[in-house]
């Protein structure tokens, strides 16, 4: 079995000196990844860039997503970051090779860490795995391929496109969300594990898990990347305080408001 | 009462020669306006440009929306169009002055025609008017101001943000749509007229009207602009066939698929 490509990178960032990370997302969703990074106290400084002027990426073409990701890379070049995390699954699915070819620092996506988290969960190969993601992420086949390489064959992939706008609308529970869960999940056999393959989904994780009577294991990109960095030798002295700076391509005030609510 | 500004423009396009119109929208939604233009056979050629790489505009900042609209204007300069219609309400609400200042052809928004259609419906001033639009459109106050200038004082404005993604997901009826209608409308006193202030909303017009037992009058941007052009002296020989060319900033194939379905 070929190992996921990310595990070739961490040696370059083993460090116990202060580090600065750039977190890139199509919009506000990546703040769920920031939340995990803050919780694990992995960085002294987080530069967050949300491309809110062009959000969402999920329904857009891979070539467009890659073009936007390369522009974000240019943005981060002004900040002397030590590494970059593409919190957005759609970017992680399509743009990593191009980003890595053009960057002078390591770049982490969220797909490989999520797949590794599933692997580490030690579920039997007969388990039913449900992958949830945007059209761009699911369309790339990246999760499907990596997970089938782990030996799972009972894999279902789904794009519940309304989950993102529901979260953006601040709907984390209630009838409308239940109705949306019904719309997408009613015909599914309950899965054993669910990949939350979009940064918005952790905000409705409870509702997603509770929908299925067996309460499946959930894999969360933010937790997965934080744990992956820790487990692969990234053990800086814990930051007592992390400085978080938020930038966006649209009005940054709206994004800062969301950050206050979510973090 | 000050007349809506659009009625100063039509004289410049009174014509009975073949005409070419540019229709601009943030994405696919403006195709509902194209549908009306085709039905009324007003143009020989329609150039449609959907900024699908940055859709939706509705939640974005007015400055960003205006910047995008000016880029669309540059796009249309290559086509020698006779007039331009900004089918997008969010653009119509924020960018018309800047567009008109930079264009060599007349530019029509959809807000003034919608307001005129409401005026022409001849409802009593005590009528309850419900305006539905994106956050950008409602936030501009444009509809509210123009409609109160008509003498209505019972005006409610609402941004049912999930309607756009519901339509994009192809959900035009059923439980999930009903649940969304409940979410936004349950506490409203039934209105006498509803402004469908977003190009996506005509696709769920039946469900919106049927939600209210009194079946309110609906104002549809596409019909409003077509009727406005006709009533203000725009009476070209009816085109036997209209050539429709579709362009987009993202992959145009997806947009062409939607056009096939909607038109």
A vs B: CB pairs below 8 A: 68
Confidence (pLDDT) at B263 = 86
Which residues of A fall within a CB distance of 8 Å from B61?
53, 250-251, 254
Cβ separation A183–B175 shorter than 8 A: yes
Q: Give the ipTM of the model, two decimals please.
A: 0.88
Q: B-side interface with A, Cβ within 8 Å?
A: 52-54, 59-61, 63-64, 161-162, 164-166, 168-169, 171, 175-176, 179-180, 182-183, 249-251, 254
- Reply yes or no on whether B174 is catalytic: no
Instruction: Kindly report the nearest CA distance between residue A190 and chain B, in angstroms.
Output: 21
> Residue B255: closest CA among chain A residues belongs to which residue?
A60
* Spatial CB neighbours of A192, under 8 Å, sequence gap ≥ 6: A123, A127, A128, A129, A214, A216, A217
| Catalytic machinery residues of A | 88, 198
Q: Report pLDDT for B236.
A: 66
Give the pair of three-digit tokens for residue B218.
């609906």
CA quadruple B4, B5, B6, B7: dihedral, nearest 10:
70
Q: Which residues of B touch A59 (CB under 8 A)?
A: 168
The confidence band for B241, taking pLDDT boundaries of 50, 70 and 90, is confident
State residue A232's pLDDT score: 75
Distance between B230 CA and the closest CA of chain A, angstroms? 36
Span of A228-242, B148-162, B236-250 with lowest mean pLDDT: A228-242
The alpha-carbon gap from A59 to the nearest alpha carbon of chain B, in Å, equals 9
Average pLDDT over residues B87-115: 97
Q: What 3 state SS string does chain A have?
A: CCCCHHHHCHHHHCCCCCCEEEEEECCCCCHHHHHHHHHCCCCCEEEEEECCCCCCCCCCCHHHHHHHHHHHHHHHCCCCCCEEEECCHHHHHHCHHHHHHHCCCCEECCHHHHHHHHHHCCCCCCCEEEEEECHHHHHHCHHHHHHHHCCCCEEEEECCCCHHHHHHCCCCCCHHHHHHHHHHHCCCCCCCEEEEECCCHHHHHHHHHHHCCCCCEEEEHHHHHHHHHHHCCCCCCCCCCCEEEEEECCCHHHHHHHHHHHC
- A55 Cβ neighbours under 8 A, 6+ residues apart: A26, A27, A28
A182–B176: do the CB atoms touch at under 8 Å?
A: yes
- Answer yes or no: is pLDDT of A242 > 90: no
The whole-number pLDDT of residue B231 equals: 85
Domains in chain A and their CATH numbers? 5-109+224-262 (3.40.50.1860), 112-221 (3.40.50.1860)
B60, B161, B183: residue with CB nearest A53: B60
Per-residue tokens: A22: 């750039």
pLDDT score for A108: 96
Please report, in angstroms and rounded to a whole number, the separation of the first and last CA atoms in chain A.
38
In this predicted structure, what is the pLDDT of residue A82? 92
For residue range A152-176, list pLDDT tens digits in order: 999 999 999 999 999 999 999 999 9
Chain A positions touching B53 (Cβ under 8 A) are 54, 60-61, 64
- Paired with B110 in beta bridges are none
Mean pLDDT confidence for A16-32: 88
Tokens of A212: 């299925």
**Radius of gyration of chain B, Cα coordinates, nearest whole angstrom:** 17
- Alpha-carbon torsion B94, B100, B105, B108, what sign? positive
pLDDT digits (tens, 9 = 90+) for B17-59: 558 999 999 999 999 999 999 998 889 999 999 999 999 999 9
Per-residue confidence band for A17, with pLDDT thresholds at 50, 70 and 90: low
Dist. CA A10–CA B174, nearest whole Å: 49
* Of B63, B168, B179, Cβ closest to residue A179: B179
Q: Which of A2-11, B40-49, B181-190 has the lowest mean pLDDT?
A: A2-11
What's the pLDDT at B239? 63
Q: Which residue of B has its CA nearest to A159?
A: B169
User: What is the tens place of the pLDDT at every residue in A122-148?
Assistant: 999 999 999 999 999 999 999 999 999
Quick: pLDDT tens for A172-202.
999 999 999 999 999 999 999 999 999 999 9
Q: How many other C-beta atoms lie within 10 A of the C-beta of residue A165? A: 22
Q: What residue of A is the nearest CA neighbor of B55?
A: A54
Question: Cα(A58)–Cα(A68) distance, rounded to whole angstroms?
Answer: 12
Q: How far away is chain B from the Cα of A171, in angstroms, using its nearest Cα?
A: 10
The pLDDT of residue B4 is above 50: no
Q: How many Å apart are CA A44 and CA A243, to the nearest integer?
A: 6
Site of tokens 């440009």: B49
Q: What is the DSSP secondary structure assignment for residue B234, as one 8-state letter?
A: -
Residue B11 has pLDDT above 60, yes or no: no
Contacts of B250 in chain A (CB under 8 A): 60-61, 64
pLDDT of residue B213: 97
Judged against a pLDDT cut of 60, whether residue B168 lies above it is answered with yes
Q: Under an 8 A CB cutoff, do A64 and B251 touch?
A: yes
Active-site hit among B88, B196, B204, B258:
B88
Which of A54, A175, A180 minimises the CB distance to B54? Answer: A54
């Amino acid at each position: 079995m070929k190992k996921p490509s990310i595990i070739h990178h961490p040696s370059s960032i083993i460090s116990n000196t202060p580090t600065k990370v750039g977190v890139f997302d199509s919009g506000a969703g990546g703040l769920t990844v920031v939340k995990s990074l803050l919780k694990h106290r992995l960085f002294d400084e987080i530069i967050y860039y949300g491309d809110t002027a062009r959000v969402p990426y999920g329904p857009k073409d891979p070539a467009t997503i890659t073009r936007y990701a390369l522009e974000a890379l240019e943005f981060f070049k002004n900040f002397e970051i030590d590494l970059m995390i593409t919190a957005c699954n759609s970017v992680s699915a399509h743009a990593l090779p191009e980003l890595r070819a053009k960057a002078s620092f390591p770049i982490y996506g969220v797909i490989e860490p999520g797949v590794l988290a599933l692997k580490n969960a030690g579920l039997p190969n007969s388990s039913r795995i449900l992958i949830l993601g945007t059209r761009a992420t699911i369309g790339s086949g990246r999760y499907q391929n990596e997970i089938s390489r782990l030996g799972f064959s009972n894999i279902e992939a789904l794009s519940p496109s309304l989950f993102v706008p529901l979260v953006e609308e601040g709907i984390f529970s209630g009838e409308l969300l239940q109705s949306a869960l019904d719309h997408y999940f009613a015909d599914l056999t309950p899965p054993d594990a669910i990949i939350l393959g979009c940064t918005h989904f952790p905000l409705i994780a409870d509702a997603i898990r509770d929908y299925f009577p067996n309460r499946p294991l959930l894999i969360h990109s933010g937790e997965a990347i934080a744990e992956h960095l820790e487990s692969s030798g990234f053990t800086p002295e814990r930051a007592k305080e992390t400085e978080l700076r938020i930038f966006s391509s649209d009005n940054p005030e709206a994004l800062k408001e969301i950050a206050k609510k979510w973090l």
